Amino acid sequence: MFRRSFFGMASAGLLALGLTGPANAHDDHIVVQSTTSTQNSGLFDHILPIFTDKTGVEVRVVAVGTGQAIKNAANGDGDVLFVHAKAAEEAFVADGHGVSRSDVMYNDFVIVGPPADPADVAGMSDATAALSRIAAAEAPFASRGDDSGTHKAELRLWAEAGVDVAAASGGWYRETGSGMGATLNTGTGMGAYIMTDRATWISFGNKGDYQIAVEGDEKMFNQYGIILVNPETHPNVKADLGQQFVDWVLSDEGQEAIASYKVDGQQLFFPNAR
Amino acid sequence: MESFSAILAEALGLILSWDADVIEIIVLSLRVTLSAVAVACMIGFPLGAMVGAFRFPLRTGVIVVMNTMMGLPPVVVGLLVYLMLSAAGPLGVLGLLYSPTAMIIAQTILVTPIVAALTRQVIEDLYNEYSEQFTSLGVGPLDRVLALLWDARYSLLTVALAGFGRAVAEVGAVIIVGGNINHVTRVMTTTIALETSKGNLQLALALGMILLTIAVIVNGLLMAIRGTAARAAYV
């Protein structure tokens, strides 16, 4: 009798909790694999409600590094890919995982640094020259080190500057292996220079006394692209709804929504769909 | 850096303002974790009790494995569940990835070894006390296990709480299989991770204090139930 009530209670509790059931009422939803910069800057919170109100399609965003987002999408775990690493995106399409790639918007990377400016780079606009100076001074530099879009862009610039950062890893060159926000938290804590996209930096809440040291180099241009995951390769992809989202982002309305997003009066992303 | 009292005030403000998003996140956290702990107990209690009450070949090996699995890293569990549930994985057809159910599965895998291993120890101690009585009364195997589980029920409550503590505090597994999707799979720990990465350290810490408060409430409730039930047993 007692035993029965013990296990009865346990199973009743389990039923009451409800093991399954969606947390949200929308039946129509798509999963977008995207990057931390678009999410952390608040862009998605600004533009997605506009799309959902218009179409009734809920957009679920998984925000990870570009490298991981591309791998997740290549596994078919997502309907749309919205990231910023053009070469990797074109390879994704060439491998048959994506239908086609379109430019969506851009912003730029900046290098932020401590007010003491140990490498004397503040005010420079030549990114590779600034990086050479940081390397020569062996001033601490915090890298994402996570195969993200920002990390790939940073490695390209180091290569152009002719600096072998792998050799300095663990010394003045420090790979956090984390997202942009975590790397900013770590880097500002250790007085290191950090390359970040401008959107994440403007909306970042823990800047301390850090300021932008290097900006304005066209090599630090940061292009975002959008790709519908290929339904022929991945049959579970919701091609109709995903295409609807891609079309909207590239439409005048979607582009205006992106342009209208501002933090502290500054526009974070500049639409350039063609 | 903000002062500690300012963080306390922010945490209180978040609760008192009854912010719909925060409430939704708290409710989902509890739903996922309590479901996972319930399933883990339904598997772990009988499993642990059987290993505790019976002698069989390779028993020591089984105990070593169970005890070792208590230390499963959440990130590894998250990866394994992701690979299973991914559209490219063997269970991809179920379409469970990035859902609360996926998070429950991951936490269940994380918590079941803890429940089973601790139950094994509790039951084994009790069995050593009871074994002669069982033999003299000629109690069958099933009744032995059930009697041991029933008599150990208060200790097992603490075992369940150990599992709850592990599940409610972990972030590594749920952020991989849940994806930290706003309004769908965002729970307390993934929100704390997200706000930390946005540099909103004060908000993150305030959320952490809410999480601790919830853990205190759950523990307090269970202790109250235990106290009431224990008193009733002596009437």
Nearest CB among A24, A40, A179 relative to B183 is that of A24
Domain boundary among A220, A237, A259: A220
Secondary structure (3-state) at B35: helix
Instruction: Verify that A146 and A234 share a domain, yes or no.
Output: no
- Residue B133 touches chain A, beta carbons under 8 Å: no
Identify whether A22 is part of a domain.
no
Nearest CB among A18, A60, A182 relative to B184 is that of A60
Where do we find the tokens 């974790």?
Answer: B33
Q: CA nearest A113: which of A98, A103, A104, A123?
A: A123
Token output for B52: 């505790």
Instruction: Verify that A123 and A215 share a domain, yes or no.
Output: yes
End-to-end CA separation in angstroms for chain B: 56
Instruction: Verify that A86 and A122 share a domain, yes or no.
Output: no
| B87-122 pLDDT, tens digit each | 999 999 999 999 999 999 999 999 999 999 999 999
pTM: 0.85
Instruction: Verify that A87 and A147 share a domain, yes or no.
Output: no
Cβ neighbors of A112 (< 8 A, separation 6 or more) are: A184, A193, A194, A195, A196, A201, A210, A211, A212, A213
How far apart, in whole angstroms, are the C-alpha atoms of residue A163 and residue A140? Answer: 14
Where do we find the tokens 């009422």?
Answer: A25
How far apart, in whole angstroms, are the C-alpha atoms of residue B201 and residue B192? Answer: 9
Instruction: Verify that A70 and A112 share a domain, yes or no.
Output: no
Instruction: Verify that A164 and A262 share a domain, yes or no.
Output: no
Distance of alpha carbon B113 from the chain centroid: 10
B114-147 b/e with 16+ CB inside 10 Å = b?
A: bbbbbbbbbbbebbeebeeebeeeebeeeebbbb
Topology of the domain comprising B28-188:
MetI-like fold (1.10.3720)
Instruction: Verify that A115 and A34 share a domain, yes or no.
Output: no
Chain B interface disruption, residue of A75, A95, A237, most B CBs within 10 A: A75
Tally of structural domains, chain A: 2
* β pairing state of A98-113 and A221-229: antiparallel
Distance from CA of B7 to the nearest CA of A (A): 15
- For chain B, the domains span 28-188
Instruction: Verify that A88 and A147 share a domain, yes or no.
Output: no
| Residue B109 to residues B21, B43, B44, B70, B193, Cα–Cα distance (Å) | 28, 10, 11, 10, 22
Secondary structure (3-state) at B128: helix
Domain interval for residue A210: 108-220
Nearest CB among A17, A21, A76 relative to B38 is that of A17
* pLDDT tens, residue order, chain A (274 aa): 344 444 444 444 444 444 444 444 446 899 999 998 898 889 999 999 999 999 999 999 999 989 999 999 999 999 999 999 999 999 999 999 999 999 999 999 999 999 999 999 999 999 999 999 999 999 999 999 988 899 999 999 999 999 999 999 999 999 999 889 999 999 999 999 999 999 999 999 999 999 999 999 999 999 999 999 999 999 999 999 999 999 999 999 999 999 999 998 999 999 999 7
How far apart, in whole angstroms, are the C-alpha atoms of residue A104 and residue A223? Answer: 8
How far apart, in whole angstroms, are the C-alpha atoms of residue B44 and residue B162? Answer: 13
Q: What is the CATH number of the domain that holds A135?
A: 3.40.190.10
Q: CA nearest B42: which of A6, A1, A20?
A: A6
Residues of chain B with Cβ-Cβ distance to A97 below 8 Å are none
